Structure 1
Amino acid sequence: MKKWLFMLLTVILGFGLAGCSDSDTTSGNTKDEKVEITYGFWDKKQVPAIEEIITLFNEKNPNIKVKTELTPYGQYFQKLETAATGGALPDVMWMNGAHVEQYAEGKVILPLSELAKEDNFSLENYPESLIDLYTVNGKVYGIPKDFDTTGLWYNKKIFDEAGVPYPDETWDWAKLKEVAAKLTNKDKGIWGYAATMGNQGGYYDFIWQNGGYIISEDGKSVGFDQPEAIEALKYNISFIKEGLSPTQAQMTETAASELFASGKVAMMFDGPWMVPEYKQNPDLDVAVVPKGKQRAVAIHGLSNVIAANTKHKDAAWKFVQFLGSKEAAEVFAKTGTVIPAYNGTQEAWIQAVPTLNLQAYIDGVEYSVPLPSVKSTGEIWQYEIDVLKKAWSEEESVEEAVKELTKKANEALSKK
């Protein structure tokens, strides 16, 4: 989000909050008064679990009605920007690590540390790395909801028909390429692997596996133009060049996940958020990702945050506490929707879909790398999309693309 936008948001919210009395910001909190709060999120696959959680919440809080607002991820943060300037943000909403610093410093979301302290709401119920991810200038702004790593999904039927053993922990980059070549069948319209252009669960993992980095430790530069990153990106794109993966245009027209689910792709990297969909197909399973020079996968997690200009702060905080409870985590766990962040509920998530090797995602935590999170992460991600698609579509060489990307990303980092 650009600097001018946050200056504007700060002014708008500053005037808005200054004009509200305590009763305004916490209205709807008397025992008998009914209020309605909105809950914004982006994943339609999680709707059944969310609706069940809201039902459980209403059993304990009948005077608080929760209205859901589902927005596709591609439009989610753009919609939040528009809503923030118009004072129409959802009371409670999903937040990711890439945007939390921007929204916190822009005073768009409320710090929750003091609220948690006042209500003895323990932040130790979640992985420390997730609490750290949503801590800005010493204050916690989000209550962890879930976390995710990466797995190698594969189609057992395609493997069986080709007489190829399933993936396991011994696989490396060479093995992935070798098997992708064996499983590619142009006559049947089957590709061995989908080389998607996503960063999490995609080229970030490959760069880390090859000993590279995304953002330097001092936060002043990116590593896309370094030899390790260039080699990793070339390896990823080589599947497309060799005809082992759908092209970028084909994966834009039809999502790689759809091609995989329909049996047109034999293998692809994907996250646990796809379990609700993939579990419906008995031909699919998941293994740990292949290793490069070392093992590495991205780890990230979502949190629930509260809009700074909410008119129902207490009601919103009650709902956020319930969303962060063991009870809510168990709902997500039993539906296999996502890996719940609440400590001790991950095993229930694994057992929720015993037909899948979901342990692969938990194993990934051991060698996981936190998804980069700086104030300009969102801006850098957009540059990645705009620039790297030229390399994925073979309009430019990897070297040309990363030169442009590095220049733009480093300029974004320098603004901090």
Structure 2
Amino acid sequence: MKRLKWVTIGALTLAILGLSGCGSNEDVKNASDSKSITLKFSVWETYEAPGMKEIAKAFEKENPSIHVEVEVTPWEQYWTKIEAAATGGTAPDIITMHSNESYRYMSNGALLNLDDLTKNGNIDLKNYKKGISDLYTYEGSLYAIPKDVSTVALWYNKALFDEADVSYPDDTWTWDTFLEAAKKLTNPEKGIYGYAASNNSQDGYNNFIFQNEGTKLNADRTKSTFNTKNTVEALQWYIDLATKEKVSPTSAQLSENDPAAMFQSGRVAMITHGSWMANQFKENEYTKENADIAVLPKGKTRAAQLNGLGYSISATTKHPDEAKKFLTFMASKKGNTIQAENGTAIPAYEGLAEEWVKSFPDFNAQAFVDEIDYGVLRPFNQATIKWETLETETLQEAFNGKVSVKDIAQDIQDGTDKIIKEAQ
């Protein structure tokens, strides 16, 4: 299998040294307490940082000789910083990993193999939501422990609904109900739109594709299925919300105004967005008072995109035993309970989602949890970032109203197949 080239020989050498320094499982359990060491733990979500620091403090209380320093880098700079650090052999000990990027880091030897933690019983993957660990498995080995799960639901503005005399969304809503409400909520004179249909797969159109029983990859994720009836039909319906129905800002408007920002300022009555936004909207005075959540409107079936983050260890860590000890704590029921109770994220650890819901009394956060049962794991393979970029760039012409999805679907499928083949 081909390897990506961004990790230097020096970094790979350090990675090998890091791996060779790994102790046995007994060493993990009995990491030396004879001297104090510091582990660096990278996260990108500002609103999750307090929760991660709380987990670190709980770990430090049980392990006073190990200090955990939580480093927060905004998403816009996070991967550039991590890549540079990995290339230079200075990556943080613990890296919060995203499925968008996992293959690159796994395939380049930048992450520590964690098979020993699962084989000897320190961590049991049966405790976590099925499918999330697949996002962090490479050539049969595990490189990240599931951290959380996320779904995408319908955020809506109660004040705008009340003003337009529209009933709040619930689980009886269909695509037709949704469109009818969006039309009533749209007020061009006031610059208010019913919904924001952005060129975004995770927060937007993937969910509608799945609800229409469409797919983007075949079962073994080796071929694109983009140019199929259900996928094209759903995507065109979604784009038509802006180009035909006029219930959404144009693509040009959304390129200058983030849907979440428009929602927070009362210019959009509904957006589809993730469970990870709950903390941000909780901290915003306007959305805390006016926003709420419902499950996505039903298409041919119920569906919502499912994703999850993971905890990884850098292959160049100087403290592999201590890093594994901390990761094991974070992955434990205790660590996940802390994550749930402080509202950091929906834990990937089964049975703790309700604790996360309780941390958002102002919102119907249960909607996100309800969707987990019918969540569709985000389409992924070794070339996800490349073909998703091709897809987004090619679809822009359709979002601009210049072509139909049908006109460009085969180009996207052929281009995706070429990218996947080149990555194999």
> Deviation per CA, 1:308-338, whole angstroms, max 9, x where unpaired?
1111111211221122122332222223231
Q: Distance in 1 between matches of 2:248 and 2:67?
A: 47
Q: Is the 8 A contact 2:151 2:371 kept in 1?
A: yes
CA contact (8 A) 2:133 2:146 kept: yes
Q: Give 1:51 shift.
A: 1.7
- Please name the residue that 1:245 is paired with: 248
Preserved contact between residue 29 and residue 314 of structure 1 (Cα < 8 Å): yes
Counterpart check, 1:258 vs 2:256: no
Q: Match for residue 338 of structure 2?
A: 331
Cα distance 1:19–1:217, how it changes in 2: closer, same or farther (>3 A)? closer
User: Deviations along 1:156-189, whole A, 9 cap, x unmatched?
Assistant: 1111111111111111111111110000112222
- Which residue of 119, 122, 125 maps to 1:120? 122
Give the distance between the partners of 1:30 and 1:104, measured in 2 at CA: 28
RMSD value over aligned CA atoms? 2.4
Q: Which residue of 1 aligns with 2:5?
A: 5
Identity of aligned residues (%): 37
Give the conservation status (yes or no) of the 8 Å contact 1:98–1:374.
no
Kindly provide the amino acid, as one letter, of the partner of residue 267 in structure 1: M
Residue of structure 2 in register with 1:53 after alignment: 55
Q: Partner amino acid for 1:347? A: E
Separation (CA, whole Å) in 1 of partners of 2:171 and 2:103 = 36
2:313 aligned with 1:296 = no
Aligned residue for 1:105?
Answer: 107
1:392 aligned residue (394, 399, 404): 399
Letter in 2 for 1:221: K
SS of 1:310's partner is coil
- TM-score, normalised to structure 1, is 0.92
Describe how 1:16-415 pairs up with structure 2 within 5 A. Answer: 16-19=14-17, 29-118=31-120, 120-241=122-243, 242-280=245-283, 281-415=288-422
C-alpha distance in structure 2 between counterparts of 1:227 and 1:125, whole Å: 37
Q: Which moved more, 1:323-332 or 1:355-364?
A: 323-332
Amino acid corresponding to residue 271 of structure 1 in structure 2: G
How many angstroms apart in 1 are the aligned matches of 2:193 and 2:264? Answer: 13
> 1:45–1:17: structure 2 CA closer, same or farther, 3 Å change rule?
closer
The CA distance in 1 between the partners of 2:368 and 2:260, in whole Å, is 18
Measure, in 2, the Cα distance between the counterparts of 1:81 and 1:254: 29
In structure 2, C-alpha distance between the alignment counterparts of 1:18 and 1:257, rounded to whole Å: 43
Measure the CA separation in 2 of the matches of 1:22 and 1:64.
22
Q: Deviations over 1:169-218 (max 9, x none)?
A: 11111111111000011222211011122212321111121221111124
State the Cα deviation string for residues 115-143 of structure 1 (Å, max 9, x = none).
Answer: 34446333332123223333333322211
1:237-259 Cα offsets, whole Å, 9 max, x none, are 11211321122232222211111
| Structure 1 residue ranges, 4+ long, deviating more than 6 angstroms after superposition | 24-28
Q: Give unmatched runs, 5+ long, in structure 1.
A: none
The answer on whether the counterparts of 2:178 and 2:297 sit within 8 Å (CA) in structure 1 is: yes
Per the alignment, in what secondary structure is the counterpart of residue 81 of structure 2? helix
Amino acid at match of 2:62: K
Q: Normalising to structure 2: TM-score of the pair?
A: 0.90
CA contact (8 A) 1:98 1:372 kept: no
Q: Is the contact between residue 109 and residue 305 of structure 1 (CA under 8 Å) also seen in structure 2?
A: yes
Alpha carbons of structure 1 residues 112 and 186: separation in structure 2 relative to 1, 3 Å? same
Q: How many residues align structurally?
A: 413
SS in 2 for 1:362: helix
Cα–Cα, structure 1 residues 327 and 239, in superposed 2: closer, same or farther, change >3 Å?
Answer: same
Q: Which amino acid aligns with 1:16?
A: L
Q: Contact 2:15–2:110 at 8 Å: present in 1 too? A: no
Shift of 1:154: 0.6
> What letter matches 2:275 in structure 1?
P
